Amino acid sequence: MFQKISNKSIKIKFFSKIFFIQKNIDELDFSLLKEYDQKHFLIPNQTHSKNIFFSNKPGLIDDCDGVFTSNPRVVCVIKVADCMPIFFAHQSRPFYGVVHAGWKGLTKGILKGTPTFFTENKLQLNEIDIYIGPSIQKCCFEVSKDIIDKFPSWSIRPKRTGKFMVNLQKIAFEDLRSIGFEKKRIKINSDCSFCKKNNYYSYRRDGGKTGRMVGIITSEV
Ligand SMILES: [Zn+2]
């Protein structure tokens, strides 16, 4: 899947179903990403935190779930299987990044940290394009009563079974909008990773033993 996010040169590539179950699923198989030079990769190690890191140098960043850069040579990389990959890019300048947002990161407030990178660089939030990639949607994201308080009431639909369905994409959208990003610049891919078995891995569907999809955002410069 390929997505051109900004007016200029910034592009996203979402590799669905290219990583297979391995001994250590956290090891990226770089051979599958050979069109990119891995020495330019900027990768968060992803701990379901709310921590975001800004860097113009590539590397693996500890205890972190989002990476941003203004170095057009840097390739920001994220791994997901149900969680939302949320890509950000300035509409004309090479300022971009990606966040890993599952329900934990989302309810901890990871998105609230995303404007800092742009505002510190004197960029307007209404000039940022955002793309929420394929992830588990309201048809399949079910939670039990013990954690339901973590989600806004408008995002929840109760089921007869006593469980609840939660719309994570809507929560992300509302968070981004309330922070100051522009509604019309936020695009959501409606593919559900759980439903579309032939297209995506799903951590929940596959009982935790599954591969990962990989999202990349970089500049064509
Ligand atoms: Zn679904």
Domain boundaries, the chain: 10-135+170-219
The residues, ordered by sequence, that sit 6+ positions from 186 with a Cβ below 8 Å of its Cβ are 130, 131, 132, 173, 176, 177
Q: What are the tens digits of pLDDT across the range 2-13?
A: 677 766 678 888
- CATH class, domain 10-135+170-219, is alpha beta
Counting as low any pLDDT under 70, the low residues of the chain are 1-2, 6-8, 17-28, 221
- How remote is the CA of residue 183 from the centroid of ligand 1, in Å? 24
Residues for the chain: how many in total? Answer: 221
User: pLDDT at position 202, please?
Assistant: 93
**pTM of structure:** 0.93
**Alpha carbon of 42 to ligand 1 centroid (Å):** 30
- Predicted pLDDT of residue 34: 81
Cβ atoms of residues 44 and 80 within 8 Å: no
Distance between terminal CA atoms of the chain? 20
The pLDDT of residue 18 is 62
* Contacts of 12 by beta carbon, 8 Å cutoff, 6+ apart: 2, 3, 4, 5, 87, 131, 133, 215, 216, 217
* pLDDT number for residue 188: 96
Q: Are 99 and 65 spatial neighbours (Cβ–Cβ below 8 Å)?
A: yes
User: Which pLDDT score is estimated for 37?
Assistant: 87
Give 137 Cα–ligand 1 centroid separation in angstroms: 5
pLDDT of res. 97: 96
Ligand 1 centre and the CA of 143: distance in Å? 14
Token pair for 11: 């592009």
pLDDT tens figures, 165-175: 999 999 999 99
Give the per-residue pLDDT at 132: 96
pLDDT for res 16:
75
pLDDT of residue 211: 83
- Which pLDDT value is given to residue 22? 56
Return the pLDDT at 3. Answer: 72
